[in-house]
Amino acid sequence: MRTDVVAGVFLILHLTCVSWGYGQEEVDSLQQIISRDHRDTSAVIALNSLSKVYYYAGNDSSIVVGQKAVSIAKNISYHEGLSKAYYMLGLNQHVLGQFELALSYYDSSLRCSEQTNDSTLLTYILKQVGKVYSDKGDFTKALDNYLESLKIRRILGDTLGAAAVLNNIGTVYWRQNNYDKALSYYQQTLEIEKSMGAFTEQASTLGNIGLIYMSLEDYPKALNYCLNSYNLLDSLGEQCRLLYPAINMGQTYLELDSLDEALQYLQTSHDLSVACNIPEGGCQSLYSIGQIYFKQGLYDLAEQKWKEGYELAEEYDLKTSKMSLAESLFELYKSKGASDQALHYLEITFKLNSELFNEEMTEQLTTLELNYAFEQERDSLEFQKQSELLSVNAQLDQQRLMKYVTIAGFMIALIFVFVIYRYYRLSQKAKSILEKKNKTISEALDEREVLLREIHHRVKNNLQVVSSLLNIQSKYLNDELAKKAVLEGRNRVQSMALVHEKLYQSENMSQVNVKEYLQELANALFQSYDVSEDRVRLSSQIEVVDLSIDTTIQIGLIINELVSNALKYAFPDTKQGVVSLSLRKVEGIHELEVSDDGVGIASPDDLLKSYGYRIVRSISRGLGGTITMQHDQGTFFRLTF
């Protein structure tokens, strides 16, 4: 079973300064500078550095120190220090899940950095703003900020910083389930990080690639990448960064049904999320722990973990995690039969899904990426143009020649494109005309089928009316011969009505199921003559054959006459017997047989002169067939056509 949870993507948090690996001596030195109560730029720099140290240590004092840095920097109008202080406060609020407050601090930092023209800090702010929007589920704004940050980093020659942004862009596409694009960005990132020996960043990217393979359900490959990521960070001693690799390991083992190993890593990740104060990691850990309990049939424990995670996601507005947890609670309550609770969480799931994954957002992401690619191409062309202008005097003759060749080639290409375009327009026009004609034909065929079905329906209804009138008329006749003739006429009408009834009920308006029609016709005749199956039994052996509608009607009339004749004369009084009916096709010849084991025909000459037999012979000739009769032991008729 694939885990649909949004697993932990640990994005690289690059700061404007150097690595956070401060020793205790450096911390003490910073605190001494602050304790001098100097309210100058050195105090702001020290406060910002100490805020960063506390931030990476998971110490809430980072916020207090950052606010003090803001206060001093404002008083002395130190814009560079103020920008960095706001940036650190934004980082702290982001980790705490206070997204709107984080965006407010980043906006303040952005305005200050614009006054100081600090392009390096600007790239970090844009990247962090993009990450906030990504965590909020607003992928369009996330990609917009990431691409702007990437553009500036490349201008500055910040290769490793550009790799970090590529990693973040890959995460946007991963969260949109565009795994091919995400994997492409992650692999670009990994190549840069390997070339620069950036081990911490490599660990992050390895984990992200592992998540892609987890999403693609290639769990052995996912486990390999996640394990490499976890071991690399563990060797570097970066405990808080182990949170998301631990989640990834747990989820991979969960998919491989190694529940004990999965639970071990996920409990570790949950402990780290609490210790490092990372709510999103806590939500993801609780989600996966709940999955383990659900698999083990421990539904109460699963419910407890999922509810705890859902409340945490709701508190910090973590939409992606909230959607995954709501979906799990829906499945849990559905399995328990708690329909009201299941419906509640299902509605939440649908609402969040529509917010996070919609076509408009996907189109906006594509547009942003295309715009960025266009700007890159435009910048590249401008640079190339400047280089050519520098050497224009030395290469004038060559450029003229190239210009003429280019113009000629352009004209040829233009003509070629025009021809292709003209051909394309003509083919599109022809295609459009053909589609319209096909549509008209299709609509005409549909109308014809509806009309034909209605005609068959009305013919059947009219024949039923005639049959009913004949039946009513027979009740007012005293002459038995006349009454008998009317009833026989009614049966003939009913045999034709039955064909039309089968036609308008059939999917194929050009054919009738002959076997089904003849069987129903024979049964209807038994009912019409009030013959009990206990006294006279019907034996039918009718093969599935293809007959036209006209032929089917004529065969129905023949069977109507022959079966009616058998039921009327072959079994007088209480005599018992069998009426047999068969239809088959042998070597392209249809054979219809109707027989009975009754008293036989006393006077064959009278039969040959009867009206019913004359109908049979007339229809036989119309079919181009021959009919034979035997009457020594019962009566036997065979029609070949």
Of 33-37, 120-124, 179-183, 555-559, the least confident: 33-37
In angstroms, the CA 155 to CA 123 distance is: 11
With cut-offs at 50, 70 and 90, classify the pLDDT of residue 476: low
Q: Are 196 and 161 in contact (CB under 8 A)?
A: no
Q: Which residue has the higher pLDDT, 130 or 339?
A: 130
Find tokens 């109460």 and name the residue: 300
In angstroms, the CA 580 to CA 566 distance is: 10
Q: Are 590 and 606 in contact (CB under 8 A)?
A: no
Residue ranges of domains in the chain, CATH in brackets: 514-640 (3.30.565.10)
Find the DSSP H helices in 176-298: 179-196, 199-215, 219-236, 243-255, 259-275, 279-295
In angstroms, the CA 380 to CA 359 distance is: 32
Which 8-state DSSP code applies to residue 242? Answer: G
pLDDT of residue 101: 92
Tell me the per-residue pLDDT of 562-594, one tens digit each, with 9 for 90 and over: 888 888 777 887 788 888 888 888 888 888 888
Q: Is the pTM of this model over 0.75?
A: no
Tell me the mean pLDDT in the region 113-120: 83
With cut-offs at 50, 70 and 90, classify the pLDDT of residue 16: very low
Which strands, in side-by-side order, build the sheet including 635-640?
Answer: 536-542, 577-586, 589-596, 635-640, 626-630
Tell me the per-residue pLDDT of 586-633, one tens digit each, with 9 for 90 and over: 888 888 888 888 877 766 666 666 777 787 888 888 888 888 888 777
In angstroms, the CA 468 to CA 342 distance is: 58
pLDDT of residue 89: 92
Q: Are 3 and 251 in contact (CB under 8 A)?
A: yes
Tell me the per-residue pLDDT of 117-132, one tens digit each, with 9 for 90 and over: 888 888 888 989 998 9
Q: Name the residue among 571, 595, 570 with its Cα closest to residue 582.
A: 595
Question: Where does residue 287 rank: exposed (0-12), middle (13-18), buried (19+ CB within 10 A)?
Answer: buried
pLDDT of residue 618: 84
Question: What average pLDDT does the structure give for the chain?
Answer: 77
User: How many whole angstroms from its chain centre is CA 189?
Assistant: 30
With cut-offs at 50, 70 and 90, classify the pLDDT of residue 376: low
Q: Residue 449 in 3-state DSSP?
A: helix
With cut-offs at 50, 70 and 90, classify the pLDDT of residue 87: very high
In angstroms, the CA 73 to CA 55 distance is: 20
Q: Are 56 and 23 in contact (CB under 8 A)?
A: no
Tell me the mean pLDDT in the region 83-91: 91
